Amino acid sequence: MINIKTEITINAPKAKVWSVLTGFADYNRWSKVITDMNGYPQKGKTLTLTVHPLPGVGLPIPECEITVCSEEKGELRWQGPSIPVVKDVISANHYFYVESISENKTRFIHCEDFDGWITPVLKPLLEAQLPELYAEFNKELKAEAEK
């Protein structure tokens, strides 16, 4: 298994950060890393999205199931893809924690766990590329939440 973890401090209340994070329909306006978020932020619902690891390159991510969506706990988590054949090759558990530091300061933690038979082959690439990509998304979220 591979685990990627990044975090950032956002100068905004937890509720504002949560609202931006779960406002899937607005991602195209403020994020260049994750776009085309289609779905409803609720446990058991399915979403699709596109990840842009490089400028001009979009990787569609189909059929991810939201496994946790709790504003109270400050946790959003999805796993996918939910396609049986693909899931044996590689599967991912993508999750975010939104933690209040103070009234107007929030810690945003962004993680992903990868599993599947091809994961050891992809490990060097994933560990080299994803922390920077996720840090960029974190900065985009921070900029939007601090408006």
Cβ-contact 76, 96 below 8 angstroms: yes
The contacts of residue 26 (CB under 8 Å, 6+ apart) are 20
Is 42 among the domain residues?
Answer: no
Is 89 among the domain residues?
Answer: yes
Residue numbers of the domain that contains 139: 2-23+65-145
The pLDDT tens digits along the chain (147 residues) read 899 999 999 999 999 999 999 999 999 999 999 999 999 999 999 999 999 988 888 988 888 999 999 999 999 999 987 666 677 788 899 999 999 999 999 999 999 999 999 999 999 999 999 999 999 999 999 999 999
pTM: 0.92
Is 59 among the domain residues?
Answer: no
Is 30 among the domain residues?
Answer: no
The pLDDT score that the predictor gives to residue 130 is 94
For residue 105, the domain's CATH number is: 3.30.530.20
Block residue for tokens 């569609």: 60
Q: Report the domain count for the chain.
A: 1
Block residue for tokens 């840090």: 135
The contacts of residue 116 (CB under 8 Å, 6+ apart) are 87, 88, 89, 90, 91
